[in-house]
Amino acid sequence: MPTSGSVPSKINLGFLPTALEPMPRLSSLLGGPQIWIKRDDCTGLGGGGNKTRKLEYLMAEARRQGADTVITAGALQSNHARQTAAAAAKLGMGCVLVLTEAVYGRDALYEHNGNMLLNDLFGAEVIRLPAGSDSSAAMADVAARLAAAGKHSSIIPIGGSNGLGALAYADAMAEVKQQAQAFGIRFDRIFVASGSGGTQAGLVGGLHRSGLDAKIQGISVSASEAELTAKLAGILAELDPLLGGSTPVSLIHTDARQVGAAYGQPTDAMREAVRVVARHEGVLLDPVYTGKAMAGLFAAIRGGEVGPDETVLFWHTGGSQGLFAYQSEF
């Protein structure tokens, strides 16, 4: 992390600001509320997605540390790993991905297509580990191996979810505030997929800093509500000094009802959400994150938690490349 007091620097990697668009056909299909979408699936870098914003800070920090190679970790179909590989390629750096076979019962497409195909095209070295492996230890081993070969590496955490990565989503909240003002709208709620937590933590920190009062609903894709809340509080503790404030943990709202059997395991509600949004808006969601987050929004509307007069933002975080790893589910 940068020394306190200095403003962290960024490397421009994405096409920003991303578009903010209404979803009129989806809104009328669901009987109101007014649903808008923030197109962070279109950040541009190597297929795009939410990790691009985080990597603008994280790659700048790696460079500041003198790194010629970055190391990160995730599941085989990690969108974070794929965007990190693309960022490294763009900046002329090496990239080693430690990818765990964390999702059971998948087929050959999961193993080789989607993000795995793209990692290879971006020239990353992939190290595959069986489920349950200690990826932090494996990343430290890679760093030692690279050091012995005279390389300087920097480890980027899973999902890019530390305070510095989350700072990019506090910035993104300021971006949305400006866009909403330009459209003359005000969001009552924001729905976002939440995994390693950096995106939601950043949005919550940014919300507090911007003086907005939307309710940010994080739809968990893996952890229980208590686990995810603890993770978010930990990231906020790193982010707050960078924002120069203190974000109340009461702004953290999590919903773990869409996880299904486990991380990366399809649910019927996810399949419905992916199909409906594709057919009504021409927008591609993904099976692991945004399909489940949209299923959470559908459920909240149908269950009356979100009223027909509300204005809702669905924050699209990317991941459609993962559809090609889940062909058999559709």
If the CB atoms of residues 48 and 146 are measured against ligand PLP, the closer one turns out to be 48
The residue within the footprint of ligand PLP, chosen from 84, 161, 179, 311 (CB under 6 A), is 161
Interface with ligand PLP, residue 80, by CB under 6 A? yes
The residue within the footprint of ligand PLP, chosen from 34, 50, 69, 217 (CB under 6 A), is 50
Interface with ligand PLP, residue 47, by CB under 6 A? no
Least separation in angstroms between CB 235 and ligand PLP:
9
The residue within the footprint of ligand PLP, chosen from 18, 69, 79, 217 (CB under 6 A), is 79
- CA-based nearest residue to 282, from 250, 255, 251, 320: 320
The answer for residues whose C-beta is within 8 angstroms of residue 103's C-beta and 6 or more apart is 75, 76, 77, 110, 262, 263, 264, 265
Q: Residue ranges of the alpha helices (H) in the chain?
A: 24-29, 51-64, 79-91, 108-112, 115-121, 135-148, 163-183, 198-210, 225-243, 268-281, 290-302
Which of 78, 220, 222, 320 is the catalytic position? Answer: 78
The residue within the footprint of ligand PLP, chosen from 81, 99, 143, 193 (CB under 6 A), is 193
Residues numbered 231-260 forming contacts with ligand PLP, rule: CB under 6 A: none
Pairwise CA distance, residues 317 & 259, whole Å = 17
If the CB atoms of residues 49 and 163 are measured against ligand PLP, the closer one turns out to be 49
Interface with ligand PLP, residue 206, by CB under 6 A? no
The residue within the footprint of ligand PLP, chosen from 194, 217, 311, 321 (CB under 6 A), is 194
Pairwise CA distance, residues 324 & 310, whole Å = 34
Residues numbered 98-117 forming contacts with ligand PLP, rule: CB under 6 A: none
Secondary structure of 25-92 in the HEC alphabet? HHHHHCCCCEEEEEEHHHCCHHHCCCHHHHHHHHHHHHHHCCCCEEEEEEECCCHHHHHHHHHHHHHC
> Count residues contacting ligand PLP (CB under 6 A)?
20
Interface with ligand PLP, residue 156, by CB under 6 A? no
Interface with ligand PLP, residue 81, by CB under 6 A? no
Which segment (120-128, 182-190, 193-201, 266-274) binds ligand PLP by CB under 6 A? Answer: 193-201
If the CB atoms of residues 146 and 243 are measured against ligand PLP, the closer one turns out to be 243
Question: Could you give the 3-state DSSP secondary structure of residue 117?
Answer: helix
Residues numbered 305-324 forming contacts with ligand PLP, rule: CB under 6 A: 317-319
Token readout for 43 is: 């950040």
Pairwise CA distance, residues 49 & 69, whole Å = 22
Least separation in angstroms between CB 107 and ligand PLP:
21
Closest CB to ligand PLP: residue number: 319
- Per the rule left: phi > 0, alpha: psi between -120 and 50, beta: everything else, 158 is beta
* Residue 28 annotated among the catalytic residues of the structure: no
Pairwise CA distance, residues 202 & 51, whole Å = 12
Which residues of the shown chain bind ligand PLP in the complex (CB under 6 A)? 49-50, 79-80, 159, 161, 193-200, 286, 289-290, 317-319
Active site residues: 78
